[in-house]
């Protein structure tokens, strides 16, 4: 499970542990910028072509919240489009048809979120061109942003259909809305230059988390200077946080990113492919109705007879079979996400032998289900 994707090097990597220990010896929080904060931002700018400026925050939730506020401030508009099954943290305005924990619990939203908080949120189906066209047809001059996971990884793993992200880019350009990529999961995990580069679609704002903080509480948002300069103190869109870009998290993030090269992602994708192929064999050999999705270094499974391309199809999967699979895997010493609506992550600490052990356990689990 790798801490829901944050632990790309594996747990307690010695260089990350050492970096955090050295940083802690200097002080855990200053409430002021540090050189590590600058260095981490410079790496993000260097690796992500669409990012010229960066703002560090403490969580993916904060990053999504700030991105929405920034888009509204930059465009002077109120409405935000999100996609059913995509999760962007526990921001009130975005807790509508969200994936992840809400999907696991079968909750359409959350108590405590007022009707007013979601009045400007438009929810459409992922991978549905007609739905996004209809949203822009009705509200085109009111939409500030389209917020999307470029690879949906919180309703299980659902890659964007060919041409879909390009279509979102086109519609945003036509209507003056900003395209926001939530790369909290995909950022620095699916490739050296993140998902935007691998998919060939340029967002206006990108959100990063998990890997970029090295397993400590840190996230970031970034984009062109013309957009980012709307944030205070240069612009009128306020954002602040005492612990944003704190010394421990930036030290961990720097240590992790220093270890990741282009070859690292080749190896991660090779491992992910080995796992995906093994899981497909487990389903096929045992006659279990299951689907295996892969997007670069990410894997996901659905207990469904057909391919899953949206949230409704994900929810229609056999969650009871997944629960049986989870417990059987756990009994074999393999810890996968307990929810059917999450993603599988390999790390650079994994070996072929360990992947093969996972696949063997999956065969046994599928036999028990049958």
What are 172-205's pLDDT values in tens digits? 999 999 999 999 999 999 999 999 999 999 999 9
Residue 146 falls in which region: left (phi positive, over 0), alpha (psi -120 to 50) or beta? beta
CATH architecture assignment, domain 9-259: 3-Layer(aba) Sandwich (3.40)
What residues are labeled active site? 87, 182, 210
Radius of gyration of the chain (CA): 20
To which residue do tokens 């052990």 refer?
357
Q: Residue 364 — pLDDT band, cuts 50, 70, 90? A: very high
| Of 298, 354, 247, 348, nearest in space to 7 by CA | 348
The residues that bridge with 53 in the sheet, in sequence order, are: 223
Taking a C-beta distance cutoff of 8 angstroms, is the pair 67, 221 a contact? yes
To which residue do tokens 């944050």 refer?
6
DSSP 317-344: S-HHHHHHHHHHHHHTT----SSTTS-E
Taking a C-beta distance cutoff of 8 angstroms, is the pair 256, 267 a contact? no
**Rounded distance, CA 364 to CA 286, Å?**
9
For residue 27, what are its two tokens? 């002080």
pLDDT tens-digit series, residues 61-89: 999 999 999 999 999 999 999 999 999 99
Q: Residue 115 — pLDDT band, cuts 50, 70, 90? A: confident
The pTM (predicted TM-score) of the whole model is: 0.95
Q: Give mean pLDDT, residues 23-50.
A: 97
**Rounded distance, CA 315 to CA 318, Å?**
8
**Rounded distance, CA 313 to CA 187, Å?**
26
| Of 69, 62, 63, nearest in space to 236 by CA | 69
Q: Give mean pLDDT, residues 36-56.
A: 99
List the chain domain ranges: 9-259, 262-369
For residue 198, what are its two tokens? 């691998």
**Rounded distance, CA 296 to CA 166, Å?**
18
3-state secondary structure of 221: strand
- Percent of the chain past pLDDT 70, that is, above it, reads 97
For residue 178, what are its two tokens? 């900003």
pLDDT tens-digit series, residues 233-286: 999 999 999 999 999 999 999 999 999 999 999 999 999 999 999 999 999 999
**H-type alpha helices, 178-260:** 194-199, 225-228, 247-259
**H-type alpha helices, 76-123:** 100-105
Fold for 262-369, please state it.
3.90.1150
The enclosing H or E element of 311 equals helix 311-315
Strands annotated E in the chain: 53-57, 79-83, 121-124, 143-148, 151-152, 158-159, 178-183, 205-208, 219-223, 291-295, 298-302, 344-345
């Amino acid at each position: 499970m790798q801490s829901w994707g944050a632990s790309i090097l594996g747990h307690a990597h010695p260089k990350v542990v050492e970096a955090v220990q050295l940083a802690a010896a200097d002080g855990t929080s200053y409430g002021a910028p540090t050189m590590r904060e600058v260095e981490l931002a410079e790496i993000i700018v260097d690796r992500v072509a669409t990012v010229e400026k960066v703002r560090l925050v403490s969580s993916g939730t904060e990053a999504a919240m700030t991105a929405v506020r920034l888009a509204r401030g930059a465009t002077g508009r109120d409405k935000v489009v999100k996609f059913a099954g995509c999760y962007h943290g526990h921001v009130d305005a975005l807790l509508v048809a969200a994936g992840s924990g809400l999907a696991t619990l079968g909750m359409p939203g959350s108590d405590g979120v007022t009707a007013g908080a979601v009045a400007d949120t438009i929810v459409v189906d992922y991978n549905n061109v007609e739905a996004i066209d209809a949203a822009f047809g009705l509200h085109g001059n009111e939409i500030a942003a389209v917020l999307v996971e470029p690879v949906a990884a919180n309703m299980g793993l659902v890659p964007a259909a060919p041409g879909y992200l390009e279509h979102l880019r086109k519609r945003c350009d036509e209507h003056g809305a900003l395209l926001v990529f939530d790369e909290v999961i995909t950022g620095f995990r699916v490739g050296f230059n993140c998902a935007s580069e691998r998919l060939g679609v340029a967002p206006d704002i990108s959100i990063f988390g998990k890997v970029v903080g090295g397993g400590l509480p840190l996230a970031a948002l970034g984009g062109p200077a013309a957009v980012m300069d709307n944030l205070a103190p240069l612009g009128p869109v306020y954002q602040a946080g005492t612990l944003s870009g704190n010394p421990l998290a930036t030290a961990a993030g720097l240590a992790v990113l220093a270890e990741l090269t282009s070859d690292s992602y080749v190896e991660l994708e090779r491992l992910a492919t080995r796992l995906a192929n093994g899981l497909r064999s487990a389903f096929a050999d045992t006659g279990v109705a299951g689907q295996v999705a892969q997007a670069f270094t990410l894997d996901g499974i659905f207990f469904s007879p057909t391919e899953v391309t949206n949230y409704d199809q994900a929810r229609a999967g056999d969650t009871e079979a997944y629960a049986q699979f989870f417990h059987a895997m756990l009994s074999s010493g393999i810890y996968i996400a307990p929810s059917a609506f999450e993603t599988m992550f390999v790390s650079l600490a994994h070996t072929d032998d360990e992947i093969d052990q996972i696949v063997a356990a999956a065969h046994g689990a599928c036999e028990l289900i049958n």
